[in-house]
A and B are shown apart, each in its own frame.
Chain A
Amino acid sequence: VSYLIASNLDEVISSLRDGSGKVRVVAGATDLYLQDLPYGLVDLSTLPETTVIEQEDGLIRLGAAITHTTAASSPLILSRAKALAEGCKAIGSPQIRNIGTIGGNVINAAPAADAAVALVGLGAEAVIIDIEGNRRQVAVENLYCTYNRSVVDSTKEVMISLQFKSCLGGEGSAFTRFAARRALALPMVNAAARVKLENGIVKEVRLVAAPVNPAPSRLLKTEELIIGRPINGETISMVENSAAEEVEVRGSLLRCSAQYRVHLIGVLVSRVFKIAADRAMNPGKAGE
């Protein structure tokens, strides 16, 4: 197995091109390491493009190789994209968070990956370039072809960064999860929300729950239902009931029954909705 630590993006692209399907991109390797590796690997975790954290014109750009630890402790993320900080904080263990990356969390395509769920909640798009030099932007939720399989072919394509609108005035976000134990456990359910309020009325909202489908799923019916409604107990229970009604899920011997998962989705989505709305109303010193 060859392992190249790329020093610039061109090196990544040329390695993939020369590898003709036998070389793939790696960053934290926390998931890749568990698989058989019949590949050469090109490591993009130290490039300027993949490690950037910046905000420009209300848009936050995060390098795909930003680690969960970095994301969870970044003042910018903590103040303008709290859902992502909370999602990244929930992943694995400190050791895994120290090397696992947000890009990897998306590309690995697990149906309820915490960072990916938060990113979908925030409305993030991935910036991807391929070996021909084409560049495209795709919403994170559209990067999943099936369970545990990304549309991104890491032998031909590279996710460079993720970007989404910063939560500025009147916007807030939140993430939460429910699992059998407090660390190192796949969630029974995780959920994220982003809410924009105007005069206490829901102007825009994104509600996301997983695992429901291969990709983190937006609860579009529930979102539609509460647009234009005030933040109050009634709206929050409406979120709980509608979210539970909107999803169809499976149960498993290892996690929980389908019935309980549906109940949890209602509870967790309404919780993140309420917290995100609270943050939108009371941004505090730190922003959202």
Chain B
Amino acid sequence: MTLKTSKKNTSRYGKAEETEYQSLEVWSKVTGKAVYGIDLDLPGMLHGKILRSPFPHARIKRVDASVAEAMPGVRAVLTGAGLEQRPFGIAVKDELPLAVDTVRYVGDEVAAVAAVDLQTAERAIKAIIIEYEELPAVYDPAEALQEGAPQLHDNFPRNLAWQRNLERGSFEAAFTEADLVVEGNFTVPAIHQVYLEPIACVAVDEPYTGITLHTALQSPDVVRKIVAGVLNYPLSKVNIDGPVMGGGFGGRVYGNLKVYILSALLAIKSGRPVKIQLTREEEFIAGRPMIAAVINMKMAVRKDGTILGREADIITDNGAYSAQAPWVSKTLSERNDSVYRIPIIKTRVRLAYTNKIPTGQYRAYGNQVANFATESLIDMAAKKLGLDPLQIRLKNCVREGDITVHGLQIFKCGLSECLRAAAKEIGWNKKKAGHGYGLSVAIHANGSLVVDKNFRGASALSRLELDGRVTLFTGEQDYGQGTHGAFAQIFARALDVSPTQVTVESKQTKTAPFSTGALAMRQTTVGGKAIQLAAEDLKEKIFKNAAELAGEPVTMKNGILTSISGRKLELAEIAYHYHTITSGLSLTGEGKYVPEESDYDESGYGNISVAYSFAAHAVEVELDKTTGALTVNHLVAAHDSGRIVNHLTSRGQVYGGVAQGIGMSCFEGCLFNEGRMANASLADYKIPTSLDLPEIDPLFIEIEDPAGPYGSKGLGEIVMVPVIGAVANAAADAAGVRITDLPLTAEKIYQAMVGRECDQ
């Protein structure tokens, strides 16, 4: 992998300035001083361990924990039958903290133990006797939806966890008018987020403060509510105190609720702090990977390349419990439709329960899954019609002023600029002979309303400290993507101070403002806007107090206030002045950003977000035709994320997102053998190494969008979206045959090429 410092950033408003502020938060990490969840060790802390089902589907006939309970060093044992349990869930309440009579996947939690050390806890769970009666199981989601398939949950007949039928316009009309209909069946396996730090939680229960969960989450406020509900604790008696987060990528939005709930229950029962830390194997067999999907998609096209409509029949694989799978299925089934001017769509999505690992979300929320299908079909159509894949995309891609098929209002959009820039940089018009080239485009919402229609924005608090520095309180989380550094920059710009003067505080749910979390690519746009407002509010108060102190109006530059007669006032003086006259208060600023313009109707039609980010990726590959081995040589990632707040961390986002996209395209996927995950280790679940990654070339097309702070928009999730389609298209270009089943392994490519030779 080669990393380039791109100097090609362009802006409609002149040359964009490179900003590369490095927050000291980064230095805590690279010097090894940052404390992660797995590092935590509290006085008197016990170690918790979870006993899991060895069967994909079974009835629990008998549980005997008496031997474990009597073991020296064991302080608490929990079994499903011995607990008063409340069902919980994120989209659907279909889970219990511990299984009572039925287990539904290999890894399902059946008991938990807390002991003085990990070895004792491990011995204790092995001493718990569970008698099972195996039940017929179902692993394939399409089979699960059939009449007569084994049922997972009584209240979900035919294992249908969720479904949606949607038609906008008359699809029959699109077909009648079409010169060409292209169709494909696309399959994508469950993908684990593979954050570097396994999930760990230390739960503490104290009479006065209640439950504290020391665990790093992308969305601590939402988890706090769920945990309080399950434990039947008042919300204010549950606090989440976040250590530094070792990656998340969607996997830590709600993390592993079982770990938080069981560590809390063990802490309550034992009266001691309890730590549960998942092993990497547990991360795989009982994590929350992104749903697997099978997509049948048809696209109707006119011979000049105009897209007339698309139809999709999608089955997503929920696993045994729902987590966020219904929401991911919804985004998967529709977001990608808005990247082109597709006038008519028809979609059926069915989410099926199967006896496999419950599923959740991954960076891009399924948008990348649909991208694989849509972008493959676009290239298939271009090939059949003899059109250039670049031109067919330029012809159809959304532009400023468009209202898309789902009602998204595209106020600012640099998608066609991204396409042209990416194509130019990859050498689209001077292709190397024998190499394969592919393009793909993406749209992603900046904080969608889909999860909670009434909660659209973000808020922030700021406080001028006595030393003149500023503390910013936000519920928005940084798990390594650089959000807090960007917030310091936004805040500093609004207040007119240096970002080094700003400390961002988001650790504690009991003190930070509520946030829906690091999800939906909302933090820079929505969270950042709230931060800008919190700075402006504070600045107004600073001016008022400075004028009072000086006895005359003041102006401010670089953090120094000057009165009209020339008296200089530092921020510390103003802070101290206010502190004195109020007997101890500090000057504070409030920011609340509540975007009014977004809404949607019952069918989901409407402008679900304040802004949309865009991207076009271009890929160049080489193929060893004797083995099918694919080498991705070069990937150009052109992004319209508005004005870039920090080019250094933004490039980091692009490198990471592309790496994950390459992983999903060519390497990754949960493999199952009779419901058991067969590759539940980092040796066998293959994420790419640096040797497997291409030269990555980030290009930022900086078109200011007033929705976000200083024209900025989100860049987290969208990076992953176009990679899959672009790599698939480049591979098909090189191989002369198309693989529609991820990942694109050498064997699949080779077999497809051999198969094609046989056909001819």
Contact = CB atoms under 8 A, between A and B. Distances in A.
A181 B688 contact: yes
Interface in A76-104: none
Interface in B726-760: 745-747, 750-751
A105 to B, nearest CB: 17
Contacts of B581: none
B624 to A, nearest CB: 9
Interface string A170-190: 000000001011111110000
Dominant SS at the B interface?
Answer: loop
A131 B679 CA distance: 41
Interface in A218-265: 253-254, 256-257, 260, 263-264
A253 B747 contact: no
A181 B683 contact: no
Given A253-B678, A254-B671, A254-B679, A180 B626 contact: no
A277 interface: no
Contacts of A185: 686
Interface residues of B, number: 20
A212 interface: no
A56 B242 CA distance: 63
Given A184-B683, A254-B671, A178 B689 contact: no
Nearest to B691: A182
Given A254-B678, A260-B750, A260-B751, A178 B629 contact: yes
Contacts of A254: 671, 678-679, 684
A184 B689 contact: yes
A256 B689 CA distance: 20
Contact of B686 (A181, A260, A264): A181
A180 B689 contact: no
A15 B533 CA distance: 73
B667 interface: yes
Contacts of B751: 260
Given A178-B629, A180-B686, A257 B747 contact: yes
Question: How many A residues are at the interface, by size bracket?
Answer: 10 to 19
A243 B747 CA distance: 19
Contacts of A263: 627, 750
B17 interface: no
Contacts of A167: none
A112 B204 CA distance: 49
A178 B627 contact: yes
Interface string B663-685: 00001000101000011000110
Nearest to A178: B627
A256 B747 contact: yes
A192 interface: no
Contacts of B627: 178, 263-264, 267
B692 interface: yes
B671 A253 contact: yes
A182 B747 CA distance: 15
B667 A267 contact: no
Nearest to A260: B747
Contacts of A253: 671, 673, 678
Contacts of B629: 178
Nearest to A182: B691
A254 B672 CA distance: 10
A180 B688 CA distance: 9
B676 to A, nearest CB: 11
B460 to A, nearest CB: 42
Contact of A183 (B689, B746, B747): B689
Interface string B461-494: 0000000000000000000000000000000000
Residue of B626, B683, B691 with highest tally of chain A CB at under 10 A: B626
A181 B671 contact: no
Instruction: Specify which of A183, A260, A267 lies most central, judged by the most chain B CB atoms within 10 Å of its CB.
Output: A260
Contact of B626 (A183, A256, A267): A267
Contact of A181 (B667, B679, B750): B667
Interface in B575-614: none
A260 B745 CA distance: 12
Interface string A188-205: 000000000000000000
Contacts of B686: 180-181, 185
Nearest to B685: A254
A184 B687 CA distance: 10
Nearest to B678: A253
Contacts of A178: 627, 629, 746
Nearest to B671: A253
User: Taking each of B627, B688, B689, which has the highest tally of chain A beta carbons within 10 Å of its own beta carbon?
Assistant: B627
A183 B686 CA distance: 10
A14 to B, nearest CB: 33
Nearest to A252: B678
Contacts of A180: 667, 686, 745-746
Interface of A: 178, 180-186, 253-254, 256-257, 260, 263-264, 267
5 contacts: A178-B629, A181-B686, A182-B692, A184-B683, A253-B678
Interface of B: 626-627, 629, 667, 671, 673, 678-679, 683-684, 686, 688-689, 691-692, 745-747, 750-751
A-B residue pairs, 6 tightest by C-beta: A182-B691, A260-B747, A183-B689, A181-B692, A256-B747, A267-B626
Given A181-B689, A182-B689, A253-B678, 6 more contacts: A181-B692, A182-B692, A184-B683, A254-B678, A260-B750, A263-B627
